[in-house]
Structure 1
């Protein structure tokens, strides 16, 4: 899945004379459900199922809260 991005030119706030640089900003293209994310992660593994990954993602959200 390609990552959509835009470029923005930003200056150095601590050195106004420094040349400006370009930075990439990731763009959101929609929402992803836990179920589809778990299937995508499990698809790259031969040892875990999407149900296992979904359980870990659910526990992660509890731990982050």
Structure 2
């Protein structure tokens, strides 16, 4: 069974954060939601493993505040 990696696993996290931040700076709320959806779908497709994706959804949902 594949497991979701939750420990730091990025080669250049600061660079990625800067790129992500730059992407969103000029976007309005609707554009940000569109980019979020596209990014989620692209990365989900890259991962491809339904068990890993289900684990990610579960963990992400646990941190939603009412």
TM-score by length of 2: 0.32
Relative contact order (alpha carbons < 8 A, sep ≥ 6): 1 or 2 greater? 2
TM-score by length of 1: 0.33
Q: Tell which structure's C-alpha radius of gyration is larger.
A: 1
Whose strand proportion is higher, 1 or 2?
1
